Amino acid sequence: MKVNDAVAGTILIVFAAGVFYQTLGFPPMPGQNYGSKLFPQTIAVLMALSGLLLIVRGVKARHESPWLVAADWMRSPGHVANFLLLIALLLFYILAAKALGFIPTAFLLLAVLLTRLRGVRHLASSLAIAAVATVAMQQAFGQLLRVPLPWGILPPVQW
Amino acid sequence: MDPISLAFGLILDPYVLTVMLAAGGFGLFMGAIPGLSATMATALLVPITFFMEPVPALAAIVTATAMAIFAGDIPGALLRIPGTPASAAYTNEAFAMTRKGRAELALGISLSGAIVGGLFGSAVLATAAPVLADIALRFSSFEYFWLACMGLTCAAFVSSGSAVKGLVSLLIGLFIATIGVDPMSGHPRFTFGNVEMMGGINFIPAMIGMFALAEVIRSVTATTPHYKAPQEHIGNIFKGLGPVLRRYKLNLLRGSVIGTLVGALPGAGSDIAAWISYAVGKKFSKEPEKFGTGHPEGIVDAASSNNAGLGGSWVPALVFGIPGDSITAIVIGVLYMKGMNPGPTVFLYQPELIYAVFLSFFLANLMLLPLGLAAIKSSKQLLLVPREVLMPIILLFCIVGTFAINNTVFDVGVMLVLGLVAYLMEENGFPIAPAILGLVLGPLLEDSFITSMIKADGNLFAFFERPIAAGLGVVTLLIWVAPLFFRLRRGKVEPAKASGADE
């Protein structure tokens, strides 16, 4: 998704205003001129200024650069589905990993994404790749590096 | 025992050598596959190095990046797709050679250029860094404030075509760095009462999101058809290599020098070094008209330059803690994690670690010969690995790697959000490297400013009272003012030109 610089500039200014508003509640450091406010406020001011510059540039270039152009893939339902599925799978992992456990969640994530990207034709090999990759990852991080990957519904097995 | 023999002991440990070998294979793979870059290789390595001692961790990163920068030349020469941005400068040239049936020679030049450049960069790093560190020992918070300012400014200006967009990216990184409890006053900033936000945004999930997840998103939404594996049979790459290298030995040296210098410049990495060296090579060539038609000269310049840039970029990173490019920005994050706070004091207190890093540079570039050769030989198989299989696995790796640092899915969320932000930024021409530099240097910038102000009792002029600080400050201010000045002058010239064109 490509936006005109003016649109990006406007978003920046709104964001900078929000940041600045938040900093108003920061307490000063006792006995000092400069405290926890200074940095975020400087950043917000510089952001707003850059935003203004971008707006000027964007308005100047408005004939060559439309306000908003959807990326090529956004017109292709297949690619939009890929994108949404990727985000949905990440959210699924964040929400489900603890309850379901690493192995089932990771396997589902890989199996679904692999099947979507490679087509149902390769279902069998996709499932196999998902299984191998999940177990390999669990071994490498869970066993070798001792990362406490959640077990969830599976009993914690020692290999 | 003196630090140098201690360093040899550290690096010649079988465990470290195995790690380097594995990291080398990983780097070659990541570099050779278009769409996976040296930066991404570093980002994905960090969660694993997190569990290692400092020396193997850093040696792994050094080896992987040296291999990846070289391996980027392989698809460049065979498919006309640069494997990493650092190879983009001479991809057309190398592919033109392949078209003429000289793929072996092109790859041979790439490999030998990479080794020579890499060794040269390592030598400069090993000699210049300790000398500079001696000077840097006299620096206080005032000097560090200016150094951080200068590094960030260069990063914002150099990394993209548009200085404003570079600045915006930098500001986004600096803002993310302010999230969490302010270490000076103890006040939570932008945490919205969330306990996990209080600890701040860890740089590892941020970096994995911005460099790896963003790439996965780009890959699953790519509408361009996938490349086909190369058909060429790769024979002996050393055939006819000797005369070419002898003929262009000056180019080899010049590429290495330029690469090291550009690499050491904050914000400019191997990719920019290669572009500059290629352009310089063309300018000073006796036969510039042959450039672009499959002429080896430019490849000699640029292929040595991008690998030399790696060593160069570690100089400011190790000596001042100011990263030269996005890879060293990640390295600085790793150094902090390992308790080796980058800066001149590391040279005083842990010289054996620093020397071990230097040795790993030399060793990695020597390992490039057998490993690079193997990668060239197996290039057909490497380039056959389907992206639809690779990307989901990388995605899972991103998730697990992010989770591994703090063992919380909150970090996976951070990675997701910042991956989306980085994707949108790149779509709209905002470079990513300044944001990572801002995220890594933000705390240094703020702490050195506030500490200086506490020392000087709020007197801003204290930033100019020490001689080195004053010098650095004046240079920084000049860098800030110069673009405005040039713009004003250009503004005066342009209307005149415009009216002239009307006539």
Instruction: Answer whether A33 touches B (CB < 8 Å).
Output: yes
- Please name the residue ranges forming H helices in B321-408: 326-337, 344-349, 351-377, 379-382, 387-406
Per-residue pLDDT, B499: 40
For B292, the token pair is 């672009």
- Compare B258 and B385 and report the one with higher pLDDT: B258
How would residue B125 be classed by pLDDT, with cut points 50, 70 and 90?
Answer: very high
Average pLDDT of span B226-243 = 76
Average pLDDT of span B106-121 = 93
The number of CA neighbours under 13 Å toward the Cβ of B384 is 6
Average pLDDT value for chain B: 86
Helix, strand, coil: what percent of chain A each, to 5? Answer: 70, 5, 25
Q: How many cross-chain Cβ pairs, A to B, lie less than 8 Å apart?
A: 152
- Among B247, B269, B260, residue whose Cα is nearest residue B305: B260
pLDDT above 70 for B490: no
Q: How far apart are CA A79 and CA B493, in angstroms?
A: 48
What is the per-residue burial (b if ≥16 Cβ within 10 Å, else e) of B390-410?
bbbbbbbbbbbbbbbbeebbb
Residues 379-438 of B with CB under 8 A from A: 386, 388-389, 391-393, 395-397, 399-400, 403-404, 407, 409, 412-413, 416, 420, 424, 427-428, 430
Residues 51-80 of B with CB under 8 A from A: 51
pLDDT above 80 for B66: yes
Average pLDDT of span A34-55 = 90
> Which chain A residues are within 8 Å of B223, Cβ to Cβ?
72-73, 76, 79
Residue B158 CB burial class (10 angstroms; 0-12, 13-18, ≥19): buried
Q: Convert the pLDDT of each residue in B412-468 to its tens digit.
A: 999 999 999 999 998 888 888 888 888 888 888 888 888 888 888 878 888 888 888
**Cβ atoms within 10 A of the Cβ of B342, count?**
23
Instruction: Answer whether A12 touches B (CB < 8 Å).
Output: yes
- Work out whether the CA dihedral A112, A118, A123, A128 comes out positive or negative: negative
Average pLDDT of span B353-371 = 93
Give me the interface pTM, i.e. the ipTM: 0.92
Residue B233 CB burial class (10 angstroms; 0-12, 13-18, ≥19): exposed
pLDDT above 90 for B500: no
Across the interface, whether the CB atoms of A117 and B185 are under 8 A apart is answered no
Residue type, B321: G
**Cβ atoms within 10 A of the Cβ of B465, count?**
12
Using the structure block, give the residue that is written with the tokens 């490849």.
Answer: B299
Instruction: Give the nearest chain A residue to B209 (CA atoms).
Output: A90
Q: How far apart are CA B341 and CA B343, in angstroms?
A: 6
Average pLDDT of span A149-157 = 79
Of the ranges A7-11, A17-21, B264-268, which one carries the lowest mean pLDDT score?
A: B264-268
Instruction: Answer whether B174 touches A (CB < 8 Å).
Output: yes
Average pLDDT value for chain A: 88
Q: Determine which of A33, A34, A47 to mutate to test the interface with B (most B C-beta atoms within 10 Å).
A: A34
Q: Convert the pLDDT of each residue in A130-148 to its tens digit.
A: 999 999 999 888 888 888 8
Domain ranges of chain A: 2-69, 73-144
- Compare B326 and A93 and report the one with higher pLDDT: A93
Instruction: Give the nearest chain A residue to B458 (CA atoms).
Output: A33
For B31, the token pair is 């570099």
The number of CA neighbours under 13 Å toward the Cβ of B142 is 22
Across the interface, whether the CB atoms of A40 and B189 are under 8 A apart is answered yes
Across the interface, whether the CB atoms of B175 and A19 are under 8 A apart is answered yes
Report the SS3 class of residue B340: coil
How would residue B164 be classed by pLDDT, with cut points 50, 70 and 90?
Answer: confident
Q: C-alpha angle B100/B103/B104, rounded to 5°?
A: 130
pLDDT above 60 for B494: no
Per-residue pLDDT, B492: 57
pLDDT above 90 for B395: yes
Q: Which of B196-200, B236-240, B354-358 has the highest mean pLDDT?
A: B354-358
What is the per-residue burial (b if ≥16 Cβ within 10 Å, else e) of B56-83?
bbbbbbbbbbbbbbbbbbbbbbbbbbbb
